[in-house]
Structure 1
């Protein structure tokens, strides 16, 4: 009996699964404590940077819930790294 997962369709399913996983990871949101673990500044410095445009803008999910896109934080970290300059 032939194995249904050995045909060429299996590869396209794996590729699509990888694309979906990548898309989901790029859409993840971080709360402020998570951001401050990745970018070691104080809360006051972070908020001043957001206000001045030095740091990424936040995404409001509700009246008391603020997040940042993980992609934006990754870009910020890459731009601040001495290796990229």
Structure 2
């Protein structure tokens, strides 16, 4: 049987899971480590200090990367399903 990339037990699967963990943890850390985080929301368009806005942007980018890896993992698992 041919090994499908992203299948359980492969190095690609491990890389996907580690990437998801790293990017989601980075997203949470960028948002939550700032003391002023709770004073602003994502809907604060009239006033947003550059430090807070850049943290929102970095957090959104890290969350997007985590979602992308999760989507890739889903596609690999769906690809594996017919071979069962």
Flag the structure with more relative contact order, 1 or 2, with Cα contacts below 8 A and sequence separation at least 6: 2
* TM-score band, normalised by shorter chain: 0.3 to 0.5
User: Based on CA coordinates, which of the two structures has the bigger radius of gyration?
Assistant: 1
Q: TM-score, normalising length from structure 1?
A: 0.33
The structure where helix makes up a greater share of residues is 2
More strand, by proportion: 1
